C-alpha cells in the first residue's frame, strides 16, 4: 500500500523489519522447544538467543543470489550466531516458520482493526443518540417515502458494525494459527510438542492438521470479513455523499479553515473523504476474491498463493485501517442541517403521509382497494398537476371528509406519529 494511505501502527506490522522479527520469534521458540525435548543443547540455545539477529540489507543481498527469502534470512541470522546456528530451523520447512509468523502478524493487524472498528461504531452511536429526534424524510428507490430520524438512520449502521465486530473477532481467531509440522505436515522430523510450544507462546492455535502450509480458507475468510466491513464503511460514506448533494444538503463533511474544494471553482465543498473511502472499499472486494482463489492449491502446496498474499494481506489491513480512521473523523465532524431536513420533508406537500390517510380510511370501514384508489388519485394529481398540495386535495375530497373529521385528517399529517418507537429501536441496538 502506498504511504498516503498507510497509518504508522499498521504499517509497522507489515514492515520488512517486523516480518523478520516475527520469523526470528518463531525460530527462537522452536529452539527452546527442542531444547526441552533434549534435541538441542541448552548452552547452544543460550548462545542463539544472545546472538540472534538479522540485517535487512544483507538479507536482500543474499536473496538476490539464492532467490529464496527464507534461506537468505536464515543465512543472515547464522552470520550473527556462528556455529550454533546449525540448530536453528532444525527439522523445519520454510512455511513452518513463515506461516506461523504470518498468523501472528494477522492477529496483531486484526486486533488493531478491532480498535478502529470500535472507534467508528462509538462515533456513529454518539451521533445517533444526538439526532434520535432529528426528523428527516426516508427515501426508498431515491424517492421520498415516510418520515424517519437521522438518528434512526445511523442506528442501522451502529448495529451493522456490531455484527462486523463479531465476524472480525471470529476471523482473527481463525487466522491466528500456526503450524510446525514439516514438509508435508507429518511431523516427520520434529514432534508435535514443538508446534504446541511455539503456538502457545505466540498466542496462536496449532492447526489440527496441515500440509506444508496452513490452509488458505482461513485467510480467505479473514479477507472476506475485511471486505464486508469495507462495504459497510463505503455504504455509510455513500449515504453521506448523497445527503451532501446540493439538491438535498441535509448532511455535509466537515470543511476545515483553509481547505480548498476545487482548483477551478472556489465555492466547492466536496465529500472527498467519503468518495475516497467508497473507492477503497472496491479494492477490498477485489483482494478478497484473490484470497478465495488462493484456497485451491496443488496437493500439499504450491506457490500460486505466495505472490498475491504479499500484496493482498498487508494492503487489505492497511486500507481498512485507514478507512476506519477516516470515516471516524467524518462522522465526528460531519455537519447536520435539521432545518434543511424539515424543508425537504415538507417539499412534497404531504405526499409522504399517503399511507397514514389510507390506513385511517380503512379503519373507518372503507375497503383497502377503495381507500388506495382514493388516496392514489389525490396523490397523483398533486404530484403531476402541482396546482394544489396533497393535503389540500384530501381536505376537499368528500370521500375522505365524510369518513374522517378535520382533527383526524390533521393527525394523518403529523410526522411525530411515525416516530413513537424511536427509543425502542435505539434500545434494541444498545443505544439509550
Q: What is the pLDDT of residues 177-218, one digit of tens each?
A: 999 999 999 999 999 999 999 999 999 999 999 999 999 999
Report whether 116 contacts 168 (CB < 8 A): no
Q: 268 versus 319: which is more confidently predicted? A: 319
Residue 254 confidence (pLDDT): 83
Q: Say yes or no: 362 and 335 in one domain.
A: no
Residue 269 confidence (pLDDT): 85
CATH assignment of the domain containing 402 = 1.10.40.30
Residue 270 confidence (pLDDT): 86
With 90 as the cut, is the pLDDT of residue 418 above it? Answer: no
CB neighbour class for 16 (10 Å; exposed up to 12, middle 13-18, buried from 19): exposed
With 80 as the cut, is the pLDDT of residue 268 above it? Answer: no
Domain endpoint, select from 307, 342, 377: 342
Average pLDDT over residues 333-346: 96
Q: Say yes or no: 245 and 320 in one domain.
A: yes
Average pLDDT over residues 280-307: 95
pLDDT range class, residue 398, cuts 50, 70, 90: very high
Report whether 221 contacts 292 (CB < 8 A): no
Residue 258 confidence (pLDDT): 79
Average pLDDT over residues 255-266: 78
Residue with cell 508446534: 195
- Residue 84 counted as domain residue: no
Q: Say yes or no: 273 and 300 in one domain.
A: yes
Mean pLDDT estimate for the chain: 95
Report whether 58 contacts 8 (CB < 8 A): no
pLDDT range class, residue 281, cuts 50, 70, 90: very high
Distance, first Cα to last Cα, the chain:
39
- Residue 319 counted as domain residue: yes
- Residue 18 counted as domain residue: no
CATH assignment of the domain containing 129 = 1.20.200.10
Report the percentage of the chain scoring pLDDT > 70: 100
Q: Say yes or no: 142 and 251 in one domain.
A: yes
CB neighbour class for 125 (10 Å; exposed up to 12, middle 13-18, buried from 19): buried
Residue 381 confidence (pLDDT): 94
112 pairs with which residues across the strands? none
With 90 as the cut, is the pLDDT of residue 2 above it? Answer: no
pLDDT range class, residue 242, cuts 50, 70, 90: very high
Residue 54 confidence (pLDDT): 96
- Residue 225 counted as domain residue: yes
Q: Say yes or no: 336 and 360 in one domain.
A: no
Q: Say yes or no: 319 and 392 in one domain.
A: no
CA angle 56, 215, 37 (to 5 degrees): 70
Q: Into how many domains does the chain fold?
A: 2
Question: What's the pTM?
Answer: 0.93
Residue 264 confidence (pLDDT): 78
Distance CA 429, CA 409 (A): 34
pLDDT range class, residue 63, cuts 50, 70, 90: very high
Q: Say yes or no: 310 and 167 in one domain.
A: yes
Per-residue pLDDT tens digits for 352-367: 999 999 999 999 999 9
Average pLDDT over residues 251-261: 83
- Residue 76 counted as domain residue: no
294 pairs with which residues across the strands? none
- Residue 31 counted as domain residue: no
Q: Say yes or no: 394 and 313 in one domain.
A: no
With 90 as the cut, is the pLDDT of residue 263 above it? Answer: no
Q: Say yes or no: 266 and 363 in one domain.
A: no
Please say whether the dihedral angle defined by the alpha carbons of residues 318, 220, 102 and 175, taken in this order, is positive or negative: positive
List, by residue number, the catalytic residues.
141, 262
Domain endpoint, select from 342, 373, 396: 342
- Residue 149 counted as domain residue: yes
Q: Say yes or no: 254 and 287 in one domain.
A: yes
CA distances in angstroms from 68 to 61, 63, 98, 118, 431, listed in the order given: 11, 6, 12, 40, 53
Distance CA 237, CA 297 (A): 37
Q: Say yes or no: 295 and 377 in one domain.
A: no
Residue 210 confidence (pLDDT): 95
* Domain carrying residue 392: 351-412
Q: Say yes or no: 194 and 104 in one domain.
A: yes
Residue 118 confidence (pLDDT): 98
Per-residue pLDDT tens digits for 118-130: 999 999 999 999 9
Residue 197 confidence (pLDDT): 98
- Residue 297 counted as domain residue: yes
Average pLDDT over residues 12-17: 97
Amino acid at each position: 500500500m502506498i504511504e498516503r494511505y498507510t497509518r504508522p501502527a499498521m504499517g509497522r506490522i507489515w514492515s520488512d523489519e517486523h516480518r523478520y522479527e516475527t520469523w526470528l520469534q518463531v525460530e527462537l521458540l522452536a529452539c527452546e522447544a527442542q531444547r526441552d525435548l533434549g534435541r538441542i543443547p541448552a548452552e547452544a540455545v543460550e548462545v542463539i538467543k544472545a546472538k540472534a539477529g538479522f540485517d535487512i540489507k544483507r538479507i536482500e543481498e543474499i536473496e538476490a543470489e539464492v532467490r529464496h527469502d527464507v534461506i537468505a534470512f536464515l543465512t543472515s541470522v547464522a552470520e550473527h550466531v556462528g556455529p550454533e546456528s546449525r540448530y536453528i530451523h532444525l527439522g523445519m520447512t520454510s512455511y513452518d516458520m513463515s506461516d506461523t509468523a504470518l498468523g501472528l502478524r494477522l492477529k496483531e493487524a486484526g486486533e488493531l482493526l478491532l480498535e478502529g472498528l470500535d472507534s467508528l461504531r462509538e462515533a456513529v452511536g454518539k451521533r445517533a443518540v444526538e439526532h434520535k429526534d432529528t426528523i428527516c424524510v426516508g427515501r426508498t428507490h431515491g424517492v421520498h417515502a415516510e418520515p424517519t430520524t437521522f438518528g434512526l438512520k445511523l442506528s442501522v449502521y451502529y448495529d451493522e458494525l456490531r455484527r462486523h465486530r463479531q465476524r472480525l473477532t471470529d476471523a482473527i481467531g481463525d487466522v491466528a494459527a500456526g503450524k510446525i509440522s514439516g514438509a508435508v505436515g507429518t511431523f516427520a522430523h520434529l514432534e508435535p510438542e514443538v508446534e504446541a510450544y511455539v503456538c502457545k507462546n505466540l498466542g496462536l492455535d496449532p492447526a489440527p492438521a496441515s500440509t506444508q502450509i496452513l490452509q488458505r480458507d482461513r485467510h480467505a475468510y479473514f479477507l472476506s470479513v475485511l471486505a464486508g466491513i469495507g462495504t459497510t464503511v463505503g455504504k455509510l460514506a455513500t449515504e453521506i455523499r448523497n445527503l451532501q448533494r446540493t439538491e438535498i444538503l441535509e448532511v455535509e463533511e466537515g470543511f476545515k479553515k483553509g481547505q480548498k474544494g476545487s482548483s477551478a471553482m472556489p465555492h466547492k465543498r466536496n465529500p472527498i473523504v467519503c468518495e475516497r473511502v467508497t473507492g477503497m472499499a472496491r479494492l477490498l472486494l477485489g483482494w478478497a476474491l484473490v484470497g478465495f482463489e488462493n484456497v485451491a492449491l496443488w496437493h500439499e502446496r504450491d506457490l500460486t498463493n505466495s505472490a498475491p498474499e504479499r500484496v493482498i494481506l498487508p494492503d487489505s489491513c492497511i486500507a481498512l485501517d485507514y478507512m476506519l480512521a477516516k470515516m471516524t473523523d467524518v462522522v465526528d465532524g460531519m455537519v447536520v442541517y435539521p432545518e434543511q431536513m424539515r424543508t425537504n420533508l415538507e417539499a412534497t406537500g404531504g405526499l409522504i403521509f399517503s399511507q397514514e390517510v389510507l390506513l385511517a380510511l380503512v379503519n373507518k370501514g372503507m375497503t383497502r382497494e377503495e381507500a388506495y384508489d382514493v388516496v392514489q388519485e389525490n396523490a397523483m394529481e398533486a404530484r403531476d398537476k402541482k396546482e394544489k398540495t396533497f393535503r389540500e386535495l384530501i381536505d376537499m375530497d368528500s370521500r375522505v371528509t365524510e369518513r374522517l373529521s378535520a382533527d383526524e385528517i390533521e393527525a394523518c399529517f403529523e410526522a411525530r406519529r411515525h416516530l413513537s418507537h424511536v427509543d425502542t429501536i435505539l434500545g434494541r441496538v444498545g443505544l439509550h
